[in-house]
Amino acid sequence: MPVLDVEELHVRIATRNGPLHAVRGVSFSIEHGETFALVGESGCGKSMTALSLLDLMPQNGKREAKRLQLDGVEIGGLPEPELRQIRGDRAAMIFQEPMTALNPVLTIGEQLTEGPRLHHPDLSKDAAKRRAIELLERCGISQPELRLAQYPHELSGGMRQRAMIAMALMGSPRLLIADEPTTALDVTVQAQILDLLRDLQREFDLAILFITHDLTLVKNFATRVGVMYAGELVETGLAHEVISAPRHPYTSRLVACAPALDTPCGAQLGWLPGIPPRLIGDLSGCQFRFRCEEARTDCDGSIPWHVSGSRGYRCVLESNLQQNRKTLSVSQTITTSASEALLELRSVTIAYQSMGAFLTQGPSFVALKNASLVLPRGSTLGLVGESGSGKSTLARAVLGLEKPVSGDILIGGKAVGSLDPASRARAVQPVFQDPNASLNPRHTVLDIVRAPLDVRGEESKIERDSRARAMLERCGLAYYHFNAYPSQLSGGQRQRVAIARALVSGPSLVVCDEPTSALDVSIQSQILNLLVDLQREFNLTYLFISHNLAVVRQLADRVAVMLNGEIVEQGPADDVLSHPQHAYTARLLGSAALAKV
Amino acid sequence: MFGAVILGFYIVIALAAPWITPHDPYAQSLVRRLRPPVWAPNGSWTYVLGTDPFGRDYLSRLIYATRTALTVAAASALAAGLIGSTLGLAAGYFRGRVDQVISLIISTRLAFPSLLIALAVLQVAGSGLWIVVVVLGLTLWDRFAVVLRTAVMQISRQDYVLAARSFGSSHMRIMFKEIAPNVFGHFLVVFSYEAGQAVLAATALSFLGLGIQAPQPTWGLMMAEGRNWLLTNPWLIANAGIALMFLVLAMNLVGDGLRDILTPNEKV
């Protein structure tokens, strides 16, 4: 008997524009000790499916299901008080961001013991505390007695996520719902958390519903997978089979979009244009047909669900999709001639001065120690390391936004600090991580991209306008976007605007600080492809910061690894990523590959 | 919405004062002193709200006083806004020492008993509408500074400010082109609250006989003049007080409304 059995699950959310069908007829089941992953882009209904299982949708949401059984007991029509008995006890959830999922004003101990004491009023405070200590220890937290009295902000991100997992196990859950539990974590911590989940699954015989957008994780961590698109399951099957030989066009495009660790440098990634549809109004037929290369005239009719063995998919096409698939065009690796160095860092040290009492200086904090780098013109340096390792400080220093305490930063042989603002803008420009924060919400797209030229003030207004327009078009935006505000654009379009703004000054070096980590995998591939194209066209040099080694592998021909403010290893990408010299690099690579079990 | 309608009504009245007042607000007459309003016994439609102790038409004076009140409100809040936003913008944008010094100035200002200071200054500097405006401007800027300082700190951490710095924008350009449009909403909200505060303070000052001087009609003066007849002719104070109350209420409601409109909501 499966732990969770769901048939024909529907979730409707009332909005001002009519009902939004967030989940449409989803059926799946999870056995003991099995991990079922739900994947898909944002807005495809993964999280809503998970939340609806325990009736935790938003206020205006409504759930219907033909069958919704937990451990053989129908929970579909249960009234709220009885559902409360199940939540946190027989089914528990862990969330993406442990900082917001834990209450900052309660101690870890209070939060861990709160649930069990609600569910079992006869459980003594001491017994609950003993169990909390036991579980914290089991989840790999040192000094568990001490942690009970600590507040969430006193723990690191990884520790908070471990505490969240311990909290989920405080009941006696049969089902663990994990909603992107490792997305907010650094890659080494991510691997540890997944290992922990895998161990706990065996020990407690847990069924895990695992929600993620990361296909590499699915392949290595999940037993079975369900691919969601537009609120529907479009393909299910054993995880490794689905990922290595997808049958549905959507799965196939998703897989092609995700760079793998073995993608060669400079290769074009797969292309999945557009975004998932809004699920309001008429939703008949295959919703993917608007983005599908294989779309046919009968795609708007009823779509059959093909089953063969453990696999199933919903498409008008009869299997053998693989044969129609165009092999990905692997274009030539950018050959870096031994040209002159464009960027050079000579033992650069940067320290931040904190403010002390009134008008005095507090202690200083060294964010970058003795960093040295050489980056030839036309090449790409991938800078990897965990958050807090000094990557962003280095980026800001190269942009001339931080003054080094000692050492030199040279671009084209001139010290960045000595350049006047206009020539500095011509030398180096940034592209930031989050396009929501990097575009001024009160300016139109055209104003944003023209601003660097306005500041320079060398050309007439008409010339500036036409250069900004040309750059926007080159970056894939249409004329009807020019007068839009950033909020009216999608995430991918916003990042295109940010790239256009960086390039309109005509810089030779572009500093990309995690430019795709806030984006869905389909959009990420579009942006990465755009960056590769632009590099060829304008002979750009990239300093590319990322925590995603697969992305770095695809773009970079040189790699530098940072740890605690120091560059611990650097060299050609192939060497560093296939024969790491420093223990930390090896650990980073091992975590990314997720130590395949 | 309700607030905006009332405020709009006051503004129309103030602008149209010369055409809608039934009588000259300054014309005195001992013959028609203390006529009661129309709804009281012996009231007449000639003097809808009656006449004051000097025989001047109460309604006409009330309408002209609205003009004074709105002028004082707008001008003082604007003066306070200029001082406060400049300080707040500088503190939030430059941080560090600039912020420490400005924060000290703000704390010092908050420690002052503003109405007492205003009284003292008016006593020394004399009185008149524009002096009142300057004094109120100098005492009401703190909220602008505090609110804008925090808002600017948040905005100047955004990547678009970094991007603007890296393409070579000057501090001035960043403050006015990148940051100011994003904090203008905060300015408007504080402006509408402080305008209400300015009306109240100006009325208090005129009531105490400092500030705007007779015979110019102000609600404070009208209430002060009616004080001796509180028992026999309470409407002398009540009508001016009601006019004052609704104006301040309207300004606060508009402030609340603006805040709701400008705060992004998280509805699905």
The DSSP string of A71-132 is: TTEE-TT--HHHHHHHBTTTEEEE-S-HHHHS-TTS-HHHHHHHHHHHH-TTS-HHHHHHHH
Q: Reduce the DSSP state of residue B174 to 3 states and report it.
A: helix
* Rounded Cα gap, residues A510 and A329, in angstroms: 26
Interchain pair A401, B163: CB under 8 A: no
Return the higher-pLDDT residue of A41 and B62: B62
Q: Decide: helix, strand or coil at residue A329.
A: coil
User: In terms of DSSP bridges, do strands A207-211 and A35-39 run parallel, antiparallel, or are they unpaired?
Assistant: parallel
Axis-axis angle for helices A187-204, A157-169 (nearest 10): 10
Residue holding tokens 């009401």? B140
* ipTM, two decimals: 0.78
Residue B266 touches partner A, C-beta closer than 8 Å: no
Q: Which two tokens stand for residue A39?
A: 């994947």
Q: B95 vs chain A: nearest CA distance in angstroms?
A: 10
φ, ψ for residue A486, nearest 5 deg: -50, -35
Judged by CB atoms closer than 8 Å, whether chains meet at A13 and B168 is answered as no
Place of tokens 């109350």: B245
pLDDT computed for residue A576 by the predictor? 86
Q: How many CB atoms lie within 10 A of CB B82?
A: 13
Q: What is the pLDDT of residues B29-52, one digit of tens each?
A: 888 888 888 888 888 888 888 888
pLDDT the model gives residue A595: 37
The answer to whether the Cβ–Cβ distance between A438 and B160 falls below 8 Å is: yes
Whether residue B178 and residue A440 make contact (CB cut-off 8 A), yes or no, is: yes
User: 115-134 in B: which are within 8 Å (CB) of A?
Assistant: none
* pLDDT attached to residue A573: 86
HSE, side-chain direction, 13 A CA sphere, residue B180: 11
Q: Do A498 and B100 touch (CB under 8 A)?
A: no
* Cis ω before B215 (30° cut-off from 0): yes
Query: Contact B104/A58, CB-based, under 8 Å?
Result: no
Ramachandran assignment for A37, one of left (phi > 0), alpha (psi -120 to 50 degrees), beta (any other): beta
**How near does any CA of chain A get to the CA of B80, in Å?**
25
A455: nearest CB among B96, B160, B167: B167
Compare CB distances from B163 to A359, A422, A501 and report the shortest one's residue: A501
What is the spatial distance between Cα A319 and Cα A29, in angstroms, rounded to a whole number?
A: 24
User: In whole angstroms, what is the distance from residue B261 CA to residue B188 CA?
Assistant: 11
Residues B111-163 have pLDDT tens digits of 988 888 888 888 888 888 889 999 999 999 999 999 999 999 999 988 899 89
Shortest CA distance from B266: residue in chain A: A58
How far is A485 from chain B, CA to nearest CA, in Å?
13
- Residue B179 in this model has a pLDDT that exceeds 90: yes
For B160, the closest of A439, A452, A455 (CB atoms) is A439
Cα–Cα nearest to A254, from A279, A234, A224? A234
A545 CB contacts (<8 Å, ≥6 apart)? A382, A383, A384, A391, A392, A395, A511, A512, A513, A514
Do residue A440 and residue B159 have CB atoms under 8 angstroms apart? no
Residue at A298: amino acid letter: D
Please, what is the end-to-end C-alpha distance for chain B in angstroms?
A: 24
**Looking at the complex, does the CB of residue B28 fall below 8 Å from at least one CB of chain A?**
no
Beta-carbon count within 10 A of A590 CB: 14
Query: How is residue B134 annotated by DSSP?
Result: H
d(CA A430, CA A179): 32
Residue of chain A whose Cα is closest to the Cα of B168: A421
Which residue has 């691997």 as its token pair?
Answer: A191
Express each pLDDT in B64-78 by its tens digit. Answer: 999 999 999 999 999
Main-chain phi, psi angles of B241, to 5 degrees: -65, -40
A vs B, Cβ pairs < 8 A, gives 79
Of A430, A433, A441, which is closest to B166 when you measure between CB atoms? A430
Indicate the SS3 state at residue A475. coil
Contacts of A58 in chain B (CB under 8 A): 268
Check: CB of residue A559 under 8 Å from CB of residue A576.
yes
Whole-number pLDDT of residue A593: 64
Identify all chain A residues contacting B162, using CB atoms and an 8 Å cutoff.
396, 399, 401, 430, 432, 438
Determine the residue among B94, B101, B161, B166 to mutate to test chain A binding: the one whose Cβ has the most chain A Cβ atoms within 10 Å.
B166
How high is the pLDDT of residue B105? 94
Q: Does B264 touch chain A (CB under 8 A)?
A: no
What span, in angstroms and rounded, lies between the C-alpha atoms of A295 and A306?
17
pLDDT at B83 over 90: yes
Nearest CA in chain A to B98: A359
Cβ-based contacts of A437 with chain B (< 8 Å):
158-160
Residues in Cβ contact with B45 at an 8 Å cutoff, skipping those fewer than 6 apart: B38
Q: Identify the sign of the CA torsion A160, A162, A166, A169.
A: positive
* A313 and A225 Cβ atoms separated by less than 8 Å: no
In angstroms, the CA A275 to CA A41 distance is 9
Instruction: Give percent of chain B with pLDDT exceeding 90.
Output: 52
Sorted by sequence, the CB contacts under 8 Å of residue A80 that are 6+ apart come out as A55
Instruction: Check: CB of residue A61 under 8 Å from CB of residue A295.
Output: no
Strand A175-179 to strand A207-211: parallel, antiparallel, or no bridges (unpaired)? parallel
Q: Which residue in the set A13, A60, A430 is minimally distant from B163, CB to CB?
A: A430
Q: Residue B264 pLDDT more than 80? A: no
Residue A269 is classified by DSSP as P
Interface test with B, best of A15, A403, A442, A467 (most B CBs within 10 A): A442
Percentage of the residues of chain B whose pLDDT score is greater than 70: 98
Contacts with A11 from chain B: Cβ below 8 Å: none
pLDDT of residue A322: 47
Q: Residues of B with CB below 8 A from A399's CB?
A: 162, 166
Neighbours of A118 (CB within 10 A): 15
The whole-number pLDDT of residue B265 equals 45
Rounded to whole angstroms, the Cα distance separating A65 from A78 reads 12
Bridge partners, residue A561, by sequence: A384, A569
Best CA proximity match to A503, nearest among A478, A539, A529? A539
Q: B-chain residues within 8 Å CB-CB of A420?
A: 168
Q: Which parts of chain A have pLDDT scores under 50?
A: 320-337, 595-597
The reply to whether residue A437 touches residue B160, judged by beta carbons under 8 angstroms, is yes
Does the beta-carbon distance from B167 to A440 stay under 8 Å? Answer: no
Q: Chain A closest CA to B154's CA: distance in Å?
A: 11
- Given the DSSP bridges, would you call strands A18-30 and A4-15 parallel, antiparallel or unpaired? antiparallel
Determine phi and psi for A308, rounding to 5 degrees: -145, 115
Sign of the Cα pseudo-torsion (B19, B20, B21, B23, in order): positive
Indicate the residue type of A34.
Answer: E
Phi, psi of B244 (to 5 degrees): -65, -45
Question: Residue B205 and residue B224: Cα distance in Å, rounded?
Answer: 11
Q: How far is B36 from chain A (nearest CA, A)?
A: 54
B97, A501: Cβ pair inside 8 Å?
Answer: no
Which residues in chain B are closer than 8 Å to A13, comparing Cβ atoms? 268
Q: How far is CA A425 from the centre of its chain?
A: 30
On whether any CB of chain A is under 8 Å from the CB of B164, the answer is yes
Chain A contact for B96 (CB, 8 A cutoff): yes
B162, A396: Cβ pair inside 8 Å? yes
Res B85 pLDDT > 80: yes
Look at B173 and A424 and tell me if their CB atoms are within 8 Å: no
Q: Do A60 and B164 touch (CB under 8 A)?
A: no
Distance of CA A367 to the CA centre of its chain: 25
Distance CA A141, CA A286 (A): 47
d(CA A260, CA A268): 12
Cα diameter, chain B: 77
d(CA B66, CA B247): 9
Residue B230 to residue B228: CA distance in whole angstroms:
6
- By residue count, chain B amounts to 268
Q: For residue B73, is it left (φ>0), alpha (ψ between -120 and 50) or beta? A: alpha
CA nearest to A251, candidates A568, A522, A535: A522
Q: Please, which residues bridge with residue A430 across strands?
A: A511
Taking an 8 Å cut-off on Cβ atoms, the answer to whether B177 and A401 are in contact is no
Instruction: Look at A58 and B163 and tell me if their CB atoms are within 8 Å.
Output: no
For residue A271, the model assigns a pLDDT of 64
B97 CA to chain A: closest CA distance, Å? 6
The better pLDDT of the pair A308, B79 is held by: B79
Least confident of A588-597, B10-19, B184-193: A588-597
CA of A561 vs chain B CAs: smallest distance (Å): 24
Most B-contacting residue of A440, A443, A471, A545 (CB-CB within 10 A), to test interface: A440
Q: Which of A450, A446, A441, A452 is nearest to B182 (CA)?
A: A441
Find the CB nearest B160 among A60, A422, A440.
Answer: A440
Query: Are A438 and B159 inside 8 Å of each other by CB?
Result: yes
Residue of A nearest to B182 (CA): A442
What is the rounded CA–CA span in Å between residue B102 and residue B203?
A: 30
The C-alpha angle A135, A138, A141, rounded to 5 degrees, equals: 90
Distance of alpha carbon A1 from alpha carbon A374, whole angstroms: 61
B158 to chain A: nearest residue by CA? A437
Positions of E strands within B65-113: none
Chain B residue whose CA is closest to A504: B167
